Amino acid sequence: MKVLVVTGLKAKAMVENYVQMRKSKVEVDVFTLPIPVAALITPAYAAKKLAEAGLKSYDLILMPGSIRGSVEPVGEALKIPVFKGPRHAADLPEILDHLEELTLSPVKPACELAAEILAGRIEAEVKALRMEALRRAEAGLGILLQRGEAKAWWAPGFQPILLAEIADASRMGDEEIGRVARWYVKSGADMVDVGMEAGGGKPDEAERAVKAVLKAVKVPVSIDSADPEELLAGVRAGASLILSGDASNLKALREVRDVPIVVTPAGRDGTIPENFLERVERLEENLAEASRLGFKRLIADPILSLAPPYSLLDSLLGYWEFSRRKPGFPTFFGAGNVTELSEVDSPGLNFALALLGWELGVAFLFTVEASRKTVGSVSELSKALNMLALASKRRTPPKDLPLNLLILKEKRCREEPPTPGERPERLIRANRADEGFHRDPKGSFKIRVDREHGEILVLHYEAGAGRPSTAIRGSRPEAIYRAIVRENLISLPDHAAYLGFELGKALVALKTGRSYVQDEDVF
């Protein structure tokens, strides 16, 4: 296939550079139109100039994705298939490498089409792996938890069950419990755990909380408590998994020994050995006791923690030692114990934890979003597990997939640096904002972020009013400010500029999880 990529003067060098980065054998030439900015190229102008150049030997032509309108007139003039390429030159290698797989459009940029197609393909590939794991689990080669139509499963070599805990659920009302449970499942959780408060003594609350989760979502539920009465109440309410059994409570839980149970190395007094070898020995003793008492489905928790006297390395050695002693025994990996005890951005940390859990072959990956800094951990772990599943299947490192956890950083730089041709006749240094302030006679705006719906909410107050007269909501700033202009709710240019700046900040806050406070920096 022979392809012509069209661009403007300013982006010529950048486009040529990115075209050289392609891995495919597609033959590519770059044609530069005598216009500075590619986005200013019109289809009519491009058709005229390309026709004058006598271009006939190409299978297809890619126009800049930033061109306004359809590029179909260019194809009609040249009698060659002409489509929109990506908006940014940095995306050219990926588009060129997948050219034969994409159905290009004269209207929609190729980068948008590629994202949709590749996302669909990834979703299908991940689903196929999940279904294979389910078949194996149903054949007895793993773990299958089921209550009615709700299922969660794991098979060796496949993704662990992602279990998300609602911390201190007994303190919450049913509505809040349901909201958190729905958020977890939407984020990718396979199961939801009801976490009880320390101290125990609230079996009625355990029963209520489990029922509230089961009413809100169609996934299996677990109950987490040190109090046997709360655990029993949770099981009676419909919990499909017990967290956690140990030397202090196994005998009291015998009446629910048909329910899968996570067993820890805790002794009768609740203490856990500091040394990983002693922890593994204690864990083996507790597992043997659970088997003797008639528990049929056991999951081992060698304990992952950063809290002194434990360390991450010592914890990981415990998992390694246990897997060496009991190959294939299902294990429980408490990733949330690390994220909650670390004040770092969670995406990279959650990927590293998912990778460790994957390589250790754990059956359950457990997390919690109990603090502001860990909000989003369920989604991050879910995406990390999908990346690892795909990389494992393809026998490649977890990179160059149409799936990533790059949020504050990016794979390629899309910036266009200033060029010599952009030197102005005069330079104005804007070191600080003009202190002059003029109130817009049309009124003022308050901006909020609605995370539950993934939208920005703008409230308009008429001059002197104490309550808003109009609300505008949407997921994109440009749609919101166009609605505001259309409704004639703004009149001063500097007010419009301020509004655009604040809407941009709100979008960044929405995408990154940072707090949005009007008139304050996001970072």
Across the chain, which has 523 residues, the per-10-residue mean pLDDT values are 93 91 90 91 93 88 93 92 91 87 90 81 90 96 91 96 97 96 96 94 96 97 96 97 94 95 95 95 97 96 91 96 96 96 94 97 97 94 96 87 85 73 79 73 96 93 93 96 96 95 96 92 93
Nearest CA-CA partner of 102 in 66, 111, 93: 111
In a domain, 400, yes or no: no
Same domain assignment for residues 166 and 82: no
Residue 447 is encoded by which pair of tokens? 């901006």
User: CA–CA distance from 321 to each of 279, 356, 395 (Å)?
Assistant: 10, 14, 26
Q: How many other C-beta atoms lie within 10 A of the C-beta of residue 313?
A: 9
Same domain assignment for residues 31 and 77: yes
Same domain assignment for residues 302 and 176: yes
In a domain, 421, yes or no: no
Helix (H, G, I), strand (E, B) or coil at 507: helix
CATH of the domain at 166: 3.20.20.20
Rounded Cα gap, residues 298 and 259, in angstroms = 9
In a domain, 20, yes or no: yes
Strands annotated E in 182-247: 191-195, 221-224, 241-245
Same domain assignment for residues 364 and 466: no
- C-alpha atoms less than 13 angstroms from C-alpha of 320 in its C-beta half-sphere: 9
Which residue, of 69, 97, 118, is where some domain finishes? 118
Cβ(470)–Cβ(460) under 8 Å? yes
Cβ(380)–Cβ(351) under 8 Å? yes
Cβ(446)–Cβ(472) under 8 Å? no
Rounded Cα gap, residues 289 and 508, in angstroms = 53
**Chain Cα centroid distance, residue 137:** 27
Among all chains, which residue has been given the structure tokens 């114990």? 337
pLDDT at 102: 84
The residue count of the chain comes to 523
- Sheet hosting strand 364-368, strand order edge to edge: 298-300, 261-263, 241-245, 221-224, 191-195, 161-166, 364-368, 332-334
Residue 339 is encoded by which pair of tokens? 């994220």
Same domain assignment for residues 114 and 222: no
Cβ(77)–Cβ(61) under 8 Å? no
Rounded Cα gap, residues 19 and 9, in angstroms = 16
Cβ(189)–Cβ(382) under 8 Å? yes
Pairing of strands 298-300, 332-334: unpaired
In a domain, 522, yes or no: no
In a domain, 413, yes or no: no
In a domain, 81, yes or no: yes
Same domain assignment for residues 252 and 204: yes
Same domain assignment for residues 251 and 348: yes
pLDDT at 46: 93
Residue 223 amino acid letter: I
Rounded Cα gap, residues 355 and 385, in angstroms = 8
Alpha helices by DSSP H, 293-376: 312-325, 336-339, 346-360
Same domain assignment for residues 432 and 390: no
CATH of the domain at 67: 3.40.50
Question: CB within 8 A of 373, min separation 6: which ones?
Answer: 343, 346
Rounded Cα gap, residues 366 and 222, in angstroms = 11
pLDDT at 37: 87
Range of the domain at 229: 159-394
Instruction: Give the number of domains in the chain.
Output: 3
Angle between the N-to-C axes of helices 346-360 and 312-325, in degrees from 0 to 180, rounded to the nearest 10: 20
pLDDT at 177: 97
In a domain, 336, yes or no: yes
In a domain, 137, yes or no: no
Rounded Cα gap, residues 228 and 264, in angstroms = 14
Same domain assignment for residues 382 and 448: no
Which residue, of 394, 418, 446, is where some domain finishes? 394
Same domain assignment for residues 358 and 462: no
